[in-house]
Structure formats: C-alpha cells, structure tokens
C-alpha cells in the first residue's frame, strides 16, 4: 500500500539501470581515451617531454591546427550562407513543393560521410558529371561540408524561426523599420540562440569531418584527424598519433565548454506559435522571385550530387550500362587480382549494424530511463557523460581502441565484436537523445489518470509509459542501425580484410584506379544511401509528432 | 438544442433531502514538504449532490481534490467514502472518477482506447468494453467518435472524452479539476448544465473544483470557498450570494461596493457618504452594497456618473459619490444617465449586508 505518487524511478532501479551504461562507457570510452593520453604523454611510464616536444615541434603541426580551424570556420560560414535563406523560406512561406524541399534538406544530415564524398566526386570529381579540378582541393571539402550542415541550420534555426510570432516583425514594420532593419532588430536577436547552437554543432562536426577531408581534400593538407590517422596507420607512429589526438581532444573540450557557456547566457524566454500560423504564401513579386530562386537553388545543391551518384553508377565508360553493378555483385578481375564482390561488405555491414543495435539499444534505453525519470544532478551528470563520445571524434575512438584494447585483460583485436562496440559507443548518444526527452515529457498526470481508472502503479507504467517509450526506443534503434551502417572514421582503424564494411569498401574502391572501380564505388554508395535513407524514413515515421532534436 | 430537457432536469434536482454524507473528510490536510497546501479540515458531501470547491489559485482546492483521489497522502485525519474508510487505500483502488485539468488524455490511444481504459483495468472483456464505450460516448454527445485520434479533437471534444473516460467505469463520486480549462465562453456556458443532467441521471455525487465563481454558482447545489488552505465559506449559491460571510468572500464573488463603516444611531458613515441603516447595532462594521440593493432614484446619495459599460442585459454604471468614493450599480431599465451627469443613488437597507469589521 503506497500513497506516494506513482512517478519515476527508485534508487535501486536507478542503480541497476545506470551500471551497464557506466561500465560500457568506462571500458570502451574512458579507458581508451586515458590510454591515448598515456601513450601520447608518457609512453614509457613517465612524461616523455622530448617526444612530445618533438611531435609538437614539427613545423607542420601549427599549420595543421590552423588549417583544421580555418576549414571548420569556412564550412560553418558556407553552411549559413546557404542555410539561412533556406531556413527563411521554409519557415516563413508556403509554396508548392515545400514539404518535398523540407524532406530533401533533411536528407544530407543523415547520410554517411563516405556517401557525401562519393556524391561530390560523382558531380565535380575528375570522373564526375562536370569534371573540374576542384576535387582534391579544400574547396570541395567546404562545398561538401556545407552540403551536410545546411540541414543543421534548417533544423535548428529554421525550427525556431517557424515558431516565432511574425507579428513582432510586423510591429517593427508598422513602427517604421525597413524589412532588413526589422529582421536585424527583432528577428535576429530572437534567433541568435539557435544560430549559435547551430554554429557550434557545425564547428564540431567540421572539426571531426574526417571522411570528407580524407576522400575529397588535398593530400598535402591534412586536418588534425587525418594526421592522427596517417601517423597511426601509415607511419605506424602511435605515440605521435596519440599526442596529436590529445591536441584534438583539448580543442573539442574547449569548444564544448564555450558552447555550454553561450547557451546559458543566450537563452531567451519567448512565446512560440504553431508553425501553421507563421507560414504564408509569398505576396509580392519580389517575394515570389526570392522564394522560387532560393528553393530551386537549394533543390539543385542537394538534389544534383545525389542524382549524380546514381547516374555515375550506371556509367560504363562512355555509355550507360550495368557493368559496375554486375561487378559489385559478382566480383571482378583487375590486373589478374580477383576482387571479391564488394557487395559482401553489405552483408558485413548489416550484421554489424544489427549487432550495434543490440548493444546500443538496451544500453541507451537504460541510460535514457535514468536521464528521463530522475531529477537533479544525477541525471544531468549522467546525460553529459553519455554525450561525451559524441563530442570526441570517431577517429579518436578508433585510435583509442587500437591503443587500449589490444592486450590483456581486454584483447579484442580479433574479436568480431570490436567494430560493433565502437559503433555502439558512437551511436549511444543518439539513442539516449532519441528516448530521454520522450521519457521526460510524459505527463505524470497520465499515470495519475490511469491510477484513477484503476491501474496499479506497475500497470499504469506499462499502459501509459511503456507504449510511448517503446516508440521512442524504435527511433533510437533505427539511429543505432543507420549510424553503424555509415560509420567510417573508427571503422577505418579497426576493419580487417574479412570485416570490411560498406564505407570502408567504398574508400578502397575509390582509391583503386580504373572506371570500373569508380563505378562500383558509386553503385555501393548508392546502395548505402538507400539503406540509410530507409532507416531514417523509419525514424521519421516513428518519431513522436512535434519532437525536436536529432 | 437539448437545452430545455436539461433545464427540466435541473429544476427537479433537490439534493437537500438525502442528508446521509457520502464523502466525509475529518481533519484531512495536505502539505508538500514544509509548505502547507491545505489546513486540516472537515467536510461532508451528501450523496447525489454537486459541490463546487471555489477558490483563487493557491487556495488548496486542487490539493483537496488530490487527497480525496489518493494522489497525495494526507498529513492526518480520515477520509470515508460511502461509509468505508479509504484513507489508506491507493488511488487505483478508490473507484473515484477524476477529470483532470487540461484533461490528461492518453495521447497514444484513440478516443475509444481512452474511454475504455478504466473498463480494461477492472477486467471487462473486449465486447463489454466496446459496448460501454459506445454508450458513454453517446451520453456525452460524441457518438461514433471511438476510432478518432485524441490529437485531432477540438478543446470541447477533448473535454467530453475526458468526461466519458471518467464516467465509463461508473464511479459513484466524480471529481472535476478546473474542467473548463482554457475553453471558450460558449463551451463554458454549456457544460455545467449538461453535467448536472448527467450527474442526476446517473445518481452521481460530484465534487467540482474551479476558480470561477460564475461557473461554481452555475453548477453546484453547494459552494465551498477556500482561501489559503482554509474553508472560509460554505453554503448554497443563493445563500452565499445574498449574505456573503466576509469581505473576502464578497469580493471574490465579484461584489465591488465593499467598505468599512461606522454605525451610530441607525446611521452609517461610509466612504460613499452617510447611509440610513435602521436597526443596525452601533459600532464598526463592513458593508457590502450588492448591485440589487442600489438603484437610480430622485432621492439618495448624490454623485456624478464616471463611466458606463454595456453588459448586454444591463448597463454597469460607476458613480463617484459626493463623498468621493466610487459606487457601482446595474441599470436594467429606464433612462440611462450620461457620463458626467449628476444622479442620485437610492439604497435599499434590507439588501445591504452588514458584516463584522474585517
């Protein structure tokens, strides 16, 4: 007999739920990162001042750091240049094809980096539809990076913009402000928190955009991550890679702290309005021209590379044909070397994705229940802890596994689980983010209503919370699946010939000469795009209406 | 539409006769940590009656409802329902119907899933649930709404579904927490009458919590007014209207002309001027001049019309008396004075409420 409110989670349940994710993060995140620190700073048990000085003193290191930051800033600027007009028309106007455009803009964000890199090679690469010299330059990386992050701007800034009361801007107009002035003085200050949060997310993504830089960038211009990978995998100098990784980690932590401080200071309480009340058809000719121009440009920017990917996969030399697809399925012989059918990688990837789902799903659900039901510092700390792998880059995770998990007591080098564990670590924040807000938003009065209708506390939880959470858990599972399918940075460190995943296979195909390999890369990237797309479609269907975030 | 039927039911409703208390609270209070939301109080509700608990926000009215529902533990005391002590009975075993503020409909279930929830909890088979859901939806005027999604309902429809959900398991006590929520005026007018009709037809006892005195008076046989966790008034709507027990209640009921006065020799000195109050004992008192105690006349207190507000069936006129205090009265017929015009206000001493000085 208990009269306490039928809410939430007891102490015992909290501990039972919190222990598995904490152990997982400890073993597979904290331990590898600490190992990187140890290897980077003190490979022989004491601080290796000379070796550190040697690595840090290499003249190109400063260049690499400056280039990494500069590239991130350029990608962020590019994303906003395209994303703000896109956010504006999608938030403020109704026009034919608006829903389609909204879906199209959301696509790049969920695409694996390898697919995006392949899509731009298909468009402007040497074998692309419009062959240019831009591939293998920083320009291609910026264009492809912005392609990615436009969807972040539209989602975060446009998401807020669509709910701002347009009458505040009308009021400014009525008081004599020009349209631009009204935007600057009224709308911009209200949007600023979303702009800053989008900018910091994009900066973070850009600093950790390993795949794009590796596949599209100029070989002589590495970012920190690419250099970490080169030192570890090509030069086989793990201590140097670890030292560089420490620099990367410090940079990311600084960025995250700065972001947290800005967010606190910039939060503006405002009344949000239903999006349907905000959007209207364009009225003047100028508005119509602007909306049409932006919509068409945006559709081309996002649609053309994705279409080009498919088109290039159907190319056999100068004619159209299914040669690349046949080679993909049947294997090929190049220079007397028999190449296994690249589609085998798809089977590997699907198995890994399922395994990732089985690891990250339950762990993420457990963590999300703690974060969602408990109040106070416990869930906040836990939330931040679970988010850490998201802040660090996949390359660091890959390097950490390489450094930490190759000797007893944890020798997983040859374990089939190594890659799924790495993927689960990277997917975990997304799973928690998909479930925890839903748990938190369950109105406790729904449980009370169930109690008043005769449901005992356990039954009330099963009837009210469980179905709502189950739906969110499906979304989380689909995220884990999709992230595993597309993961590239960490997998590149860990994949062995028999565990080649689709993204790694695409990278290998792209580095092989000949039109057939290129065609296969395009075909495989198309397949990956479609499979990831299906997973994301499932997410959109299952997602509770009105929920935001990732 | 069915207005006349409801009105007929309304007239025939006589709760005073069944005096056996159905719900009894003895020394029941509620506290959240160290903050006392409801002082220990005694309250009885007769079977078949509709009692409105009225009070401003923070007065403890929702806590009263939650403690009866079993959603809050009482600080002490005893709650009996139909002769049975339910103080220690968990919420889900009390069999009380509760309609939540803003309704708290289950968003992941359709209308039928919401309405049938309590029936499933008590183990009814699917056919019985479906039958009863149809019945109750018909009762609340939403026949055939079962398969609809609750997200697609209008505010008024949500309210009906919430009522149907609370009614479906046939509770004998129905409690409603601010059931008008954020609904518009037309709906606010309609529900009290329909609710009365339904309660009467089903023989329900109803506890109705609201902050709106018009709503409370429209629905209830008896009104209990709470302030800062205490009962400050308890009576029939007519009784409270004609003789509010103190200045707080009078002002809460919407009376504007409330002031302290000094009575000596049957004459009261008030901020509005002097007033003949024959038979009132000398001393300090608080006076309430209800709108029906005042009228424009040829004699009485002089003043100037300050403002006029059209209110449909009457016009509210604010007169600043020669003594300098504003006096509000309702003019229903006869010529309307212009703003700035000099008038005289007659007071009917029989309708003036004389309260102990507050």
pLDDT value, residue B206: 94
Nearby residues of A473 by Cβ (< 8 Å), 6 or more positions away: A361, A365, A434, A435
Q: How far apart, in Å, are the Cα atoms of B315 and each of A103, A373, B335?
A: 58, 55, 11
C-alpha span between A356 and A484 (Å, rounded): 7
Q: Which helix (H) or strand (E) holds A299?
A: helix A285-313
List the single best residue of A452, A465, A469 to mutate versus B (max B Cβ within 10 A): A452
Pure H helices in B25-91: 61-69
Question: pLDDT tens digit string along A393-408?
Answer: 888 888 888 888 877 6
Contact assessment for residue A522 and residue A312, using Cβ atoms and an 8 Å cutoff: yes
In the predicted model, is pLDDT for residue A271 greater than 80?
no
User: Looking at A92-101, A165-174, A198-207, which range is the least confident one?
Assistant: A165-174
Please give the mean pLDDT across all residues of chain B.
87
Is B23 a residue whose pLDDT tops 70?
yes
Q: What single string gives the DSSP state of each residue in B86-125? A: -TTS-GGGS--EEE-TT----TTSBHHHHHTHHHHHTT--
Quickly state the pLDDT bin for A3 (edges 50, 70, 90): very low
ipTM value, please give it: 0.77
Strand, helix or coil for residue A2: coil
Tell me, what's the pLDDT at A274? 63
pLDDT of A298 above 90: yes
Range of weakest confidence among A92-101, A507-516, B230-239? A507-516
Residue B123 reports pLDDT greater than 80: yes
Given a cut of 50, whether residue B5 has pLDDT beyond it is no
pLDDT at A451 over 90: yes
Tell me what percent of the residues of chain B surpass a pLDDT of 90: 53
Say if residues A140 and A216 touch (Cβ distance below 8 Å): yes
Facing residue for B71 by CB, picked from A1, A448, A456: A448
Interface A:B, Cβ pairs < 8 A:
83
CA distance B267 to B290: 18
pLDDT given at position B19:
53
Nearest CB neighbour to A5, from listed B71, B93, B151: B71
Q: Is A183 helix (H, G, I), strand (E, B) or coil?
A: helix
Beta-carbon separation of B106 and A454 below 8 A: no
The dihedral formed by the CA atoms of B127, B130, B136 and B141, expressed in degrees to the nearest 10: -140
Identify whether the C-beta of residue A312 lies closer than 8 Å to the C-beta of residue A306. no
> pLDDT for B176-229, tens place per residue?
998 887 677 777 777 778 888 888 888 899 999 999 888 888 889 999 999 999
Report the pLDDT averaged over residues B312-340: 89
Burial (CB count within 10 angstroms: exposed 0-12, middle 13-18, buried 19+), residue A38: middle
Where residue A2 falls among pLDDT bands split at 50, 70, 90? very low
Give me the sign of the Cα torsion angle A168, A169, A172, A173: negative
- With a CB cutoff of 8 Å and minimum separation 6, the contacts of B44 are B21, B23, B24, B25
Kindly provide the residue ranges of all beta strands, DSSP E only, lying in B119-245, ordered along the sequence: 173-177, 205-210, 222-227, 230-235
The Cα B85–Cα B24 span in angstroms is 9
Which of the four pLDDT bands, split at 50, 70 and 90, describes residue A269? low
Q: Indicate if the pLDDT at residue A211 is higher than 50.
A: yes
Q: Would you place residue A268 in the very low, low, confident or very high pLDDT band (cuts 50, 70, 90)?
A: low
pLDDT score at A423: 94
Residue A5 has pLDDT above 60, yes or no: no
Residue A355 scores a pLDDT above 80: yes
* Reported confidence tier of residue B15, pLDDT bands at 50, 70, 90: very low
Which among B72, B104, B169 has the least Cβ separation from residue A449?
Answer: B104
pLDDT for the residue numbered A338: 62
Return the SS3 of B292.
helix
Average pLDDT over residues A373-397: 79
Mean per-residue pLDDT, B72-83: 93
Average confidence (pLDDT) over A238-266: 77
pLDDT of amino acid A263: 61
Smallest Cα distance from B128 to chain A, Å? 16
Residues of B whose CB is below 8 A from A3: 70, 72-73, 88, 90-91
Please give the backbone phi and psi of residue B176, each rounded to the nearest 5 degrees, phi first: -125, 125
pLDDT at A245 > cutoff 60: yes
pLDDT at B125: 94
- CA A459 to chain B, closest CA, distance in angstroms equals 9
Q: From the CA of A443, how many Å to the nearest CA of chain B?
A: 8
pLDDT at A276: 60
Cross-chain CB nearest to A459 (options B73, B104, B121): B121
Closest residue in B to A459 (Cα–Cα): B121
CB spacing of B92 vs A449 below 8 angstroms = no
Give A152-202 pLDDT, tens digit per residue: 899 889 888 888 877 777 778 888 788 888 888 888 888 888 888 888 888
Model pLDDT for residues B291-308, shown as the tens digit of each residue: 888 999 888 889 999 999
Mean pLDDT of chain A: 84
Cα A309 to Cα A106, A117, A182: the distances in Å are 18, 10, 42
Give the residue-averaged pLDDT of A339-364: 89
* C-alpha distance from B87 to closest chain A C-alpha (Å): 9
pLDDT for residue B358: 64
pLDDT per residue over A410-421, tens digit each? 677 778 889 999
Cβ B73–A4 below 8 Å, yes or no?
yes
The mean pLDDT of A314-321, rounded to a whole number, is 77
**b/e map A89-101, b = 16+ CB within 10 Å:** bbbbbebeeeeeb
A196 CB neighbour count, 10 Å cutoff: 18
Low-confidence winner among A58-62, A357-361, B136-140, B278-282 (lowest mean pLDDT): A58-62
Express as a percent the part of chain A with pLDDT over 90. Answer: 29
Give A485 or A283, the one with higher predicted confidence.
A485
**Mean pLDDT across A4-30:** 81
């Amino acid at each position: 007999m208990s009269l306490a409110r039928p809410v939430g989670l007891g102490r015992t349940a909290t501990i039972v739920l919190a222990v598995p994710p904490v152990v997982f993060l400890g073993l597979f995140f904290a331990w590898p990162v600490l190992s990187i620190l140890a290897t980077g700073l003190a490979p022989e048990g004491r601080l290796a001042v000379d070796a550190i000085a040697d690595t840090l003193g290499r003249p190109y290191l400063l260049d690499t750091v400056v280039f990494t930051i500069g590239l991130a800033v350029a990608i962020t600027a590019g994303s906003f240049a395209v994303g703000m007009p896109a956010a504006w028309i999608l938030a403020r106007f109704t026009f034919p094809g608006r829903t389609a455009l909204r879906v199209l803009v959301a696509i790049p964000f969920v695409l694996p980096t390898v697919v995006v890199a392949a899509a731009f090679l298909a468009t402007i690469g040497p074998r692309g539809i419009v062959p240019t010299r831009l591939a293998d330059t920083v320009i291609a990386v910026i264009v492809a990076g912005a392609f990615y992050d436009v969807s972040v701007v539209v989602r975060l800034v446009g998401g807020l913009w669509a709910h701002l009361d347009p009458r505040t801007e009308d009021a400014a107009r009525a008081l004599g402000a020009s349209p631009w002035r009204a935007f600057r003085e009224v709308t911009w200050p209200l949007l600023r928190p979303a702009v800053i949060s989008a900018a910091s997310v994009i900066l973070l993504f850009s600093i950790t955009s390993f795949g794009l830089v590796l596949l599209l960038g100029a070989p002589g211009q590495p970012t920190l991550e690419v250099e970490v990978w080169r030192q570890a995998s090509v030069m086989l100098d793990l201590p140097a890679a670890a030292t560089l990784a420490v620099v990367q980690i410090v940079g990311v932590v600084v960025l995250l702290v700065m972001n947290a401080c800005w967010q606190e200071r910039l939060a503006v309480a405002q009344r949000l309005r239903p999006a349907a009340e905000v959007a209207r058809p364009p009225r003047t000719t100028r508005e119509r021209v602007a909306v049409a121009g932006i919509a068409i440009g945006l559709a081309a920017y996002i649609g053309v590379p994705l279409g080009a990917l498919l088109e290039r996969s159907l190319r056999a030399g100068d004619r159209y044909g299914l040669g690349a697809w046949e080679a993909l399925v049947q294997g090929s012989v190049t220079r007397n070397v028999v190449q296994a059918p690249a589609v085998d990688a798809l089977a590997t990837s699907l198995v890994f994705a399922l395994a990732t789902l089985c690891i990250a799903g339950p762990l993420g659900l457990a963590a999300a229940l703690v974060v969602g039901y408990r109040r106070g510092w416990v869930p906040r700390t836990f939330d931040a802890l679970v988010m850490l792998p998201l802040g660090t880059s996949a390359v660091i995770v890959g390097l950490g596994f390489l450094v930490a998990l190759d000797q007893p007591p944890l020798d997983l080098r040859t374990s089939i689980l190594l890659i799924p564990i790495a993927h689960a670590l990277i997917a975990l924040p997304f799973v928690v983010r998909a479930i925890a807000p839903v748990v938190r938003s369950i109105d406790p009065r729904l449980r009370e209503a169930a109690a008043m209708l005769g449901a005992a506390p356990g039954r009330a939880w099963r009837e009210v919370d469980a179905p709502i959470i189950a739906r969110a858990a499906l979304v989380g599972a689909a995220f884990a699946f999709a992230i595993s399918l597309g993961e590239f940075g960490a997998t590149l460190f860990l994949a062995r010939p028999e565990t080649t995943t689709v993204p790694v296979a695409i990278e290998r195909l792209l580095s092989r000469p000949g039109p057939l390999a290129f065609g296969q890369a395009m075909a495989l990237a198309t397949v990956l795009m479609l499979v990831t797309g299906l997973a994301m479609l499932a997410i959109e269907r299952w997602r509770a209406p009105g929920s935001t975030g990732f | 539409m069915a207005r006349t039927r409801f009105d007929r039911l309304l007239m025939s409703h006589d709760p005073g006769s069944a005096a056996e208390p159905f719900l009894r609270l003895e020394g029941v209070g509620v506290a959240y940590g160290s903050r006392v939301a409801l002082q220990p109080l005694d309250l009885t509700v007769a079977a078949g009656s509709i009692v409105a608990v009225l009070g401003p926000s923070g007065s403890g009215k929702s806590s009263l409802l939650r403690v009866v529902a079993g959603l809050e533990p009482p600080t002490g005391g005893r709650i009996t329902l139909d002769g049975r002590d339910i103080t220690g009975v968990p919420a889900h075993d009390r069999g009380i119907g509760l309609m939540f503020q803003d309704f708290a409909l289950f968003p992941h279930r359709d209308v039928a899933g919401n309405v049938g929830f309590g029936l499933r909890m008590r183990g009814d088979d699917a056919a019985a649930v479906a039958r009863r859901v149809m019945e109750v939806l018909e009762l609340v005027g939403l026949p055939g709404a079962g398969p609809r999604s609750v997200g697609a309902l209008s505010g008024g429809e949500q309210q009906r579904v919430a009522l149907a959900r609370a009614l479906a398991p046939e509770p004998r006590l129905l409690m409603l927490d601010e059931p008008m929520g954020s609904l518009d005026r037309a709906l606010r007018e309609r529900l009290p009458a329909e609710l009365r009709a339904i309660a009467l037809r089903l023989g329900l006892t109803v506890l109705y919590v609201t902050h709106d005195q018009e709503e409370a008076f429209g629905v209830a046989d008896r009104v209990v007014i709470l302030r800062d966790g205490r009962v400050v008034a308890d009576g029939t709507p007519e009784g409270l209207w004609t003789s509010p027990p103190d200045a707080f209640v009078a002002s809460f009921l919407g009376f504007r002309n409330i002031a302290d006065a000094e009575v000596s020799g049957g004459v009261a000195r008030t901020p509005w001027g002097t007033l003949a109050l024959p038979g009132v004992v000398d001393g300090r008192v608080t006076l309430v001049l209800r709108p029906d105690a005042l009228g424009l006349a040829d004699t009485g207190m002089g003043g100037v019309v300050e403002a006029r507000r059209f209110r449909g069936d009457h016009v509210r006129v604010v007169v600043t008396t020669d003594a300098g205090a504003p006096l509000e009265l309702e003019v229903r017929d006869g010529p309307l004075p212009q703003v700035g015009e000099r008038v005289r206000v007659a007071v009917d001493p029989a309708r003036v409420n004389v309260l102990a000085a507050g």
